[in-house]
Chain A
């Protein structure tokens, strides 16, 4: 099947940048378009009353564009020769909006980081990634943060020292 559009949700985190790089890799090989999307989380901005009555619109399109611009700017610059990049800004609950975007834009693939800039700082899958993974109709690729992977390997090596059989190996590594 031809991969024509790849959605990359970004939020300014390192993981999102790593996901973008991966998506560009695939897009170059498959001659696909990369759609970079920033979703502004408006849940904090709406008071409970506004959420219930839906009277006041949480924000205007201009406000969304305003907040999205600094986040999307580095990706806009990377649109070089031969690679097609589109930037999209939306507002809403991130999980739901990203999934809705994936369906509305009819993408064949979503590439995103395992976690973003919010929440727990551990090597886990964030709630937004988890939601999109489970609910998007298209395949979703989760890209890990390269530094986090390195730290994880180092942590595993540290924990290995509690296993006596690995003691010699650890000593060998420590002497390096």
Chain B
């Protein structure tokens, strides 16, 4: 069975992705693996800027917000764990799956939901997409998971 060397953690600033990162750090410590923290600027929402259901400010598409989110998460990482941060522009679900294949990621750890508005479903759309399509194991973490 293959060992885990590269862990991918998609983060969007939600409490779920924080919990997911905490879990990823634990696993990275056990496996001595490296973590890739990924922020995706959702360019599919470009058409709905200002419209109901879409983002309100153009800053949504700026990677500055992403960098801040990644930075705050990185600071919480414990000693001795290597974390790379990456910002990507694109469609969250497919891009995560594409990156898993491209960089031979062994494990994806992600929140069960993100910053999406519809709180009805237990599993967010991006998490569902990655869960179905990723070719590696996927660990979904809920916000109140103790880590």
Interface residues of A (CB under 8 A from B): 1, 3, 18, 21-22, 24-26, 29-30, 114, 123-125, 130, 133-135, 137-144, 149, 152-153
The residue on A at minimum CB distance from B134 is A144
- B-chain residues with CB within 8 Å of residue A138 when the two chains form the complex: 145
- Known interface pairs A1-B146, A24-B1, A25-B1; 6 further A-B residue pairs with C-beta atoms within 8 A, sorted by A's residue number: A29-B31, A124-B132, A125-B131, A137-B145, A144-B137, A152-B135
Query: Chain B residues near A141 (CB, 8 Å)?
Result: 137-140
- A30-B30, A124-B132 in contact; A137/B137 too (CB < 8 A)? no
Do B136 and A144 touch (CB < 8 A)? yes
Say how far B53's CB is from chain A's closest CB, in angstroms. 24
CB distance from B7 to the nearest CB of A (A): 12
Q: Chain A residues near B30: list those with CB within 8 A.
A: 26, 29-30
* Contact surface of B with A, Cβ cutoff 8 Å: 1, 3-4, 22-23, 26-27, 30-31, 112, 122-123, 131-132, 134-142, 144-147
List B contacts of A124 (CB < 8 A). Answer: 132
The list of the 9 closest CB pairs from A to B, nearest first, reads A134-B122, A29-B30, A141-B139, A21-B1, A139-B141, A143-B137, A149-B135, A1-B147, A30-B30
The CA-CA distance from A153 to B97 in the complex, in Å, is: 12
The smallest C-beta distance from B119 to any residue of chain A, in angstroms, reads 13
Tell me the bound Cα distance from A137 to B122 in angstroms.
11
Chain B, interface SS category: loop
User: Complex formed: what's the CA distance from A3 to B4 in Å?
Assistant: 17
Q: Are B140 and A3 in contact (CB under 8 A)?
A: no
CB distance from B142 to the nearest CB of A (A): 7
Does the CB pair A139–B135 fall under 8 Å?
A: no
Show 15 residue pairs from A and B whose CB-CB distance is below 8 angstroms, ordered by the A residue: A18-B1, A21-B1, A22-B1, A30-B30, A114-B132, A133-B112, A133-B123, A133-B131, A133-B140, A134-B112, A138-B145, A140-B140, A142-B137, A144-B134, A149-B135
Q: Complex: how many Å from CA A3 to CA B29?
A: 12
Q: Which residue of chain B lies nearest to A32 when distances are taken between CB atoms in the complex?
A: B30
Taking the nearest CB of chain B, how far is it from the CB of A28, in angstroms?
Answer: 9
Inter-chain contacts of B31 with A (CB < 8 A)? 29
Report Cα–Cα, A4/B31, bound state, in Å. 16
In contact, B142 and A139 (Cβ under 8 angstroms)? yes
How far does the alpha carbon of A172 sit from the alpha carbon of B81 in the complex, in Å? 40
A25: which B residues are within 8 A, CB to CB? 1, 3-4
Residue of B nearest to A21 (CB): B1
Residues of B within 8 A of A3 (CB): 26
In the complex, the answer to whether B137 meets A22 with C-beta atoms within 8 Å is yes
List chain A residues, Cβ under 8 A from B135. Answer: 144, 149, 152-153
Contact present for B145 and A139 (CB under 8 Å): yes
- Residues of chain B within 8 A of A135, CB atoms compared: 122
A1: B residues at CB distance < 8 A = 22, 26, 146-147
- The reply to whether B122 and A139 form a contact with Cβ atoms under 8 Å apart is no
